Amino acid sequence: MILRNVVLLLISTFYLAGLFSCTNINNSQSHQSVAVDTLLKLGEKIRKTKSPADALVFLQTNFPSIKNKTTEDFNAYYNALYDIYSRELPNDNKRIELADKLIANMEGQPEGSYKQQALIQAYNAKANALLSKSYHNAAYEYFFKAKRLATDNADLCALSEFSYNMGMVTYRQHKYEKAKNHFLECLAERQHCPGGVLFFENQQNVLDNIGLSYEHMGLYDSAKYYYVRALTVVNEEIKPFKKNDTTGPLTSEAVILGNLADVYAQEKKYDTAFNLLNRSINFNIQKGHDNTDAAIDQIKLAKLFLSLNLGDSLKQTLYKIKGELDSIHSAFVEKEWYKLMWQNYAHHGDSLNAMRYAIAYQIKNDSFELSNRELMNTDVEGSIKSLEHENEIKLLEKDKEEQKLYLIISVIIIIATILLVLMMMRNSIRSSKDVQSLTELNNKISDQKVQLEQALKELEIRDKDKSRILRSVAHDVMSPISAIAALIDILISESEDASEDHKEILNLIREACNNSLNLSRDILDASVAIAPGQLHKEWIDIAKLIQSSVELLSVRAAEKHIQLNFTNQANGLQAFVNREKIWRVINNLIVNAIKFSFEKTHIQITLTKDDQNVVVSVQDFGMGIPEKNKAHIFDMFTESKMFGTNGEKPHGIGLSISLQVARTHGGNIWFESEEGKGTTFYLSFPINLEI
């Protein structure tokens, strides 16, 4: 009885981890990337040709380096690792960890059929891992979650997995009638799953388990019928699909033949039983095949030899099993081997060795039974029904709360309706008196609207006139001042013998001219910035633009012994801007920094990239901005003017123009300042803004 129990457990582990739970979801993975699909195929090849451990290392090393991974990619990757930790490198803790990752990967995703199928698979994976750790109550909760999700979405294919799991648990509890019924339900529900090789692999697995259940019930003809059906599916449906990879189908066939041998042994058809067991063992004993199943079939074979008093054959078989115990790590095979050794020595009258192996068997058997004791004492169907009952209570409580809420809302609506009707009646009485007043008020509003529109038109005309006047005045003023500046330069160059007072007067006149020219240029910029128009934009290397401004202004900075430092933290950064205007803004920020910096200090200009924006910062260590001036620093012709550290005169419109340029580019300018310690201005604008 325990023998076939283990056989079924091994089969279920293989299919639940590798096949059964993946049937639905594989057909939905339309967003799995080619890179991940290729990686998983290479991992499977390594798994078969080298070892599962090599495949595990390969997958864990290369998966993180794949870019732009999708939700489906993570699902496929976690399932591949779960499969390895279930079949070749059993590790229940890793399986639980991977199942948690599968659940977390899907719970935050948008609703849809893929999410439902993936969550059902993940819940079942978590439940099976918990069951292997003997965390039965927690396992049943996840089985129930999978069932509820499948039921809510009318997914019979997913529901078949719940029926399968219930069949597995009740089978291990030796409740074979219930197990058989669950497996039959699973078989019927499986007809709603997509076709393909996975469909047939799962179908033969369920048929084999039905046969095992009937065999334990003593209904050998029924058991044999389902074993033969399982073999037919393997030979007629699965093998044609896997012409180039026959290991899987032949492994399944070997397992079924081993089970079928039990039926023939019960019918005392020993020759047939020996033949089937040897066929199963000869295949699965090979490297890379199901060695554990081969060892179990050897145990079956040894038991037949013992019952038929075939001592030499029994001795040879026990010797072979002993050589395999270290490699297969099966507690069941080990304890059964000790039992056969005990019975063999007892049969030959060697009481001392018989006692030694009997004690060893008892210790192994107690440990084995202890691991299944909690499961045997658990009412799985009762637990599921209890969970269903709790869920129904929660739903009823939720409905009750909703009904209560609906009642409160209904009462509020009724009261509001009554109040509205009363107000309408009251307003109706007053409305006749108010109509005339409303009409007069509406006429006044119409008149005021006309006056306002006229005022806006006049304001727009005046604004345009102001811009024209500004441009005209600035242009007309620049010409004579430029001429005066040129004449002053000539006089300075020719006045080597002039007195120091005479030279100082000429320098003051030149400085006044330069200040007037700068003010005129600022006025022109202000008029252009204010006037509507389309900017001419092009792709500009921002670092080069800043570097040109730094180089141009280094001479001016050197006059105050100030060093300009430029740091580029965004190599190769280009932006779609108006070259002249952005250069003008950067130039203005650096000029201001020089103007308000103390001598023998430095100015730090930094270029960075923030998301999709260019950020230029200009930091000085000068006089800073007084608190009273901060609110008006960007006002045009502001009265919050400040003289530079060497008495440089301010104009008051440079920052206002710079702010207009930044906003025209979809950006902004702001600052951080502490009086006496310095100021940092920040210029930010999008890399590419089509306007």
What is the chain's mean pLDDT, rounded?
Answer: 80
pLDDT value for 423: 81
675's CB contacts (< 8 A; 6+ apart) are 623, 624, 625, 626, 627
State pLDDT tens for residues 247-276: 777 788 888 998 998 899 888 998 998 898
pLDDT value for 538: 92
401's CB contacts (< 8 A; 6+ apart) are none
Q: Answer with the residue of higher pLDDT: 652 or 242.
A: 242
Dihedral sign for Cα atoms in the order 175, 179, 180, 182: positive
Q: Answer with the residue of higher pLDDT: 32 or 100.
A: 100
Residue 251, amino acid: T
The DSSP letter of residue 682 is E
Residue 124, amino acid: N
pTM of the predicted model as reported, rounded to 2 decimal places: 0.50
pLDDT value for 604: 96
pLDDT value for 22: 41
Q: Answer with the residue of higher pLDDT: 524 or 481.
A: 481
CATH of 535-686, one of 3.90.920.20, 2.20.28.10, 3.40.50.2300, 3.30.565.10: 3.30.565.10
Average pLDDT (443-471) is 72
522 in helix, strand or coil? helix
Between the alpha carbon of residue 548 and those of residues 443, 552, 557, 562, the distances in Å are 62, 6, 14, 17
State pLDDT tens for residues 129-150: 887 787 877 877 888 788 888 7
Asked if residue 594 has pLDDT above 90, the reply is yes
Residues 75 and 80: their CA atoms lie apart, in Å, by 9
- Count the residues in the chain: 691
Q: Find the range with the poorest average confidence among 270-279, 340-349, 463-472.
A: 463-472
pLDDT value for 431: 67
Of all residues in the chain, what percent carry a pLDDT higher than 70?
A: 79
Asked if residue 482 has pLDDT above 50, the reply is yes
Whether the Cβ atoms of residue 290 and residue 282 lie closer than 8 Å to each other: no
426 in helix, strand or coil? helix
State pLDDT tens for residues 103-119: 888 887 787 777 788 88
- When pLDDT is cut at 50, 70 and 90, the band that residue 547 belongs to is very high
Asked if residue 650 has pLDDT above 80, the reply is no
pLDDT value for 422: 83
Of 301, 267, 264, 266, the residue nearest 281 (C-alpha) = 301
Asked if residue 515 has pLDDT above 60, the reply is no
469's CB contacts (< 8 A; 6+ apart) are none
Find where tokens 């409305």 sit.
431
- Domain assignments of the chain as residue spans, ordered by start: 535-686
Residues 372 and 318: their CA atoms lie apart, in Å, by 26
Residues 334 and 82: their CA atoms lie apart, in Å, by 26
State pLDDT tens for residues 369-405: 776 666 666 666 666 666 666 666 666 666 667 777 8
Question: What 3 state SS string does 580-643 have?
Answer: HHHHHHHHHHHHHHHHCCCCCCEEEEEEEEECCEEEEEEEECCCCCCHHHHHHCCCCCCCCCCC
Q: Find the range with the poorest average confidence among 140-144, 214-218, 514-518, 666-670.
A: 514-518
Asked if residue 652 has pLDDT above 60, the reply is no
